[in-house]
Amino acid sequence: MAVTLPALPYAIDALAPHISKETLEFHHGKHHNAYVTNLNNLIKDTDLDKADLETIIKTVSADATKAGHFNNAAQIWNHTFYWNSMKPNGGGKPTGDLLKKIEADFGSYDEFAAQFKTAATTQFGSGWAWLVLENGKLKVTKTGNADLPMVHGQKAILTIDVWEHAYYIDFRNRRPDYISTFLEHLANWDFAAANLG
Ligand code: MN3
């Protein structure tokens, strides 16, 4: 059972003008797809060949000899989660139980947004910023390269990819503008609320 590249949850031009069709053609069609190809080559004819993606990630995460497996598997999971963390006409303040939970755990939506922007801006080099649930409480974290919440006892709620390939075509070096655009126009709070359960 090979791992497959999931389709984007919206049309390839649906996030424009914020994230262009060209960015998604490269980011989904080339980068995400390459992680799928790489992982399938690594697990071919091994015990992991029939495992699902989360099982592969958790199985190899503590094995230093399988860093290539981990990086490719985790990046497949991270990117699928990231596509779902955005939607056309998203962003702004969440509503309902998710907003109440954010206000309870951060003090206010603005405080959450400030922490999320800081984490995403200050992740040095490639990586991700996350809204996660840990021990029943929401918090903001950042991870380097392919690292992800599920191997740190956290449940992912929402993420932004801050690898340069995520924003360089549309925002050049202006990572802070990309992060603000994500929060104001793209964040999929319906997805986040569903992850909160
Ligand atoms: Mn990426």
Residues surrounding ion ligand 1 at CB below 5 Å: 161, 163, 166
Domain residue limits at 78: 21-84
112 and 78, same domain (yes or no): no
Angle formed at CA 101 by CA 96 and CA 106, multiple of 5 degrees: 130
pLDDT digits (tens, 9 = 90+) for 75-105: 999 999 999 999 999 999 999 999 999 999 9
pLDDT band at 2 (very low <50, low <70, confident <90, very high): confident
For residue 166, the CA-to-ligand 1 centroid distance in Å is 5
Question: Which DSSP helix (H) or strand (E) runs through 100?
Answer: helix 96-106
For residue 100, the CA-to-ligand 1 centroid distance in Å is 30
68 and 103, same domain (yes or no): no
The SS3 of residue 110 is: helix
Which CATH number does the domain housing residue 132 bear? 3.55.40.20
100 and 78, same domain (yes or no): no
Residue 180, pLDDT > 70, answer yes
78 and 146, same domain (yes or no): no
Residue 166, pLDDT > 80, answer yes
55 and 127, same domain (yes or no): no
The conformational region for residue 124 under phi > 0 = left, psi -120 to 50 = alpha, else beta, is: beta
Contact call for residues 57 and 149 (beta carbons, < 8 A): no
Residue 1, pLDDT > 90, answer no
For residue 135, the CA-to-ligand 1 centroid distance in Å is 28
Considering the domain boundaries, does residue 2 fall inside one?
no
Q: How many domains does the chain have?
A: 2
For residue 81, the CA-to-ligand 1 centroid distance in Å is 11
Q: Which residues pair with 134 in a beta bridge?
A: 137
Contact call for residues 77 and 54 (beta carbons, < 8 A): yes
The SS3 of residue 125 is: coil
100 and 157, same domain (yes or no): yes
Last residue of a domain, one of 42, 58, 84: 84
pLDDT digits (tens, 9 = 90+) for 122-158: 999 999 999 999 999 999 999 999 999 999 999 999 9
